[in-house]
Amino acid sequence: MRTLRSALALLLLTALFAISADTAFTADTKKELKQAAKKAAILEKKKAAEAKKPDPIKRPDIKADDLAKVKPLTPAFLGTKGDTATVAKFVDSQVSAKLATAKLTASPLCDDSEFLRRVYLDLAGVIPTASQARTFLDSKEPAKRAKLIDDLLASPNYAKHQADLWSNLLIRKNSDNRKVDFTSFTKWLEKEFAANRPWNEMVNEMITASGEQEKAPAVGFFLSNNGVDKMADEVGKVFLGQSIQCAQCHNHPFTDYQQTEYWALANFFVKTTAGGLNTNKGQTPGVQEVNNLKRNKKNELPESYKDVPAKFLRAEAPKMTSTEPYRPVLAKWLTSSTNPFLAKAMVNRVWSQLFGVGIVNPVDDMRADNEPSHPELLEKLAADFAANKFDLKHLHRSICNSDAYQRSSKKVSGNADAEELLFARATMKVLTPEQLFDSIALATGFSTNEGKGGKAAGGKGPGQNARTQFVTFFLSGTEMSNTTEYEPGIPQALRLMNSKPISSGRAVQSLSKADSAKAIEELYLGTLSRRPTNTELSKMQSFLKNGTTAEAYGDILWVLVNCSEFTMIR
């Protein structure tokens, strides 16, 4: 074919030379011929370039049926059911083993004040009050850390924090759903996390929910991702830890996910539709799965993949009739305790939330050639999680009780220069905008409401609108904050320095200033969750000689809220 084209081009060019010498042809014809020759030459060049390009990925000739299948998970308790201690020990033995191989020294365990602030923020999403901090630090109970973990897991703030984290992952605001209010979905998440509903059951509900938003709030997930392709993307990424979204338009450039697999997964959602999205007109958003749903932009499979049968990812294609609902079939495979992806993806994600770094990174790209740093750890933790019926609090409890989690973030000579940390020390994390808002509200409000912390629970405090506005402002365009990088910019720093609630000094009005040492201690405990060192105390006391007493205390609080230590988890 190529040679024919070259011959044609050559012919045209030859003819052109012949023509230009012949004045019998009109100028227009000459022009047309010239353009045709030019076009042929361009096409020729294009074909040659295409032929030269190497196929970047050696993909075997895979038919849809033969695609490499992934091994199912075998659920297995690490100890007995709910055996936190054994799981924690297992985590430590696995981490220590890798450290030994890599010849890295682990940093020592963090001290009580480091632990206190870290575990409060990681599990409750907010710093402790000064009173809560004092209680923990002064307690002489030998098992006080384990008890604090238990208390936090049982607190309402745990559920609120999980709901915050998962709302960010599950809700995608876009032009399609911009009029939908997702509060009912967030509240549903909070309720389920508080009741410690098994994770696989929550996922099942999010995938199969039908009905109006207020009655079936889990439909919020589909309302967020209205479309077969969006659902395939998000189910893949968020629940299975598989970034298949690139395979939508072409075979995945970096892995071997094929377009057929992508659309085979998307196919489970072809009968699902969202409606009532225009709430301005008084509509109620809802989701239904119906047979014979008319083809529209949202459920349309591309022409070449129209007849691809629905198929589980890297597993079999289930037999489904055209009249049965498809989503429950997918959900059954996806949420089974033997599903190869679900447990691992969740374990990895929870691990990365607590440590700042996952066992696989990025957390939603757990493909075959993206190796886990600790494969056996991931495998067995996932098996234990599945055996424990996807009990999220058990997972949190186990990890937080490990030495690995409780390590200091301070560098020691045996790990200071490590390229890959392998959890030799804790990674310093940056507060999410939600954590920052709630912690500032608590610190500057001097809330005596110990149980509820700064979260707007129905007590006094900044309203939900202020919180949402602050969070949006701090995200400044990104979808989710990065906890291992300090990303806020100048406008955010200006807000923290100069906005009235933090800057005005109003917050210290209720502080008892009779005893300066006590007052300074109160300020430190209520912000940094620790007592000042002797050096800090004398520095602060001499600072008090500036300006008026009220002003000076206000300045100290301002400094404590604006410093790195406040905005980070050390």
Binding site residues, other proteins, CB under 8 A: 38-39, 42, 249, 253-254, 409-411, 428, 430, 476-478, 484-495, 497-500, 503-505, 536, 539, 543, 546-547, 551, 555-556, 558-559, 562-565, 567-568, 570
Helices and strands, counts by H and E, the chain: 24, 5
187: CB partners within 8 A, 6+ apart: 163, 217
H-assigned helices in 371-499: 375-387, 392-400, 433-445, 464-475, 490-498
Residues in the chain: 570
Residues 305 and 263 sit within 8 Å (Cβ to Cβ): yes
Q: How far is the CB of 478 from other proteins (least distance, A)?
A: 8
Task: For 201, list phi and psi in degrees, rounded to 5.
Answer: -70, -35
Q: Is the Cβ of residue 175 or residue 322 nearer to other proteins in the bound state? A: 175
Gap between the Cα atoms of 183 and 166, Å rounded:
13
Q: How far is the CB of 42 from other proteins (least distance, A)?
A: 7
Q: Is the Cβ of residue 69 or residue 411 nearer to other proteins in the bound state? A: 411
Q: Is the Cβ of residue 39 or residue 187 nearer to other proteins in the bound state? A: 39
**Beta strand segments in 257-374, E:** 272-275, 286-289
Gap between the Cα atoms of 181 and 16, Å rounded:
67
Gap between the Cα atoms of 37 and 66, Å rounded:
47
Q: Is the Cβ of residue 307 or residue 485 nearer to other proteins in the bound state? A: 485
Q: Is the Cβ of residue 174 or residue 291 nearer to other proteins in the bound state? A: 174
H-assigned helices in 171-258: 183-194, 199-208, 220-224, 228-234
Gap between the Cα atoms of 145 and 136, Å rounded:
9
37: CB partners within 8 A, 6+ apart: 9, 12, 13, 16
Gap between the Cα atoms of 202 and 335, Å rounded:
9
Q: Is the Cβ of residue 438 or residue 555 nearer to other proteins in the bound state? A: 555
Gap between the Cα atoms of 467 and 26, Å rounded:
75
Gap between the Cα atoms of 455 and 156, Å rounded:
10
Q: Is the Cβ of residue 108 or residue 489 nearer to other proteins in the bound state? A: 489
Q: How far is the CB of 564 from other proteins (least distance, A)?
A: 4
Residues 547 and 508 sit within 8 Å (Cβ to Cβ): no
Task: Identify the H or E element spanning 568.
Answer: strand 568-569
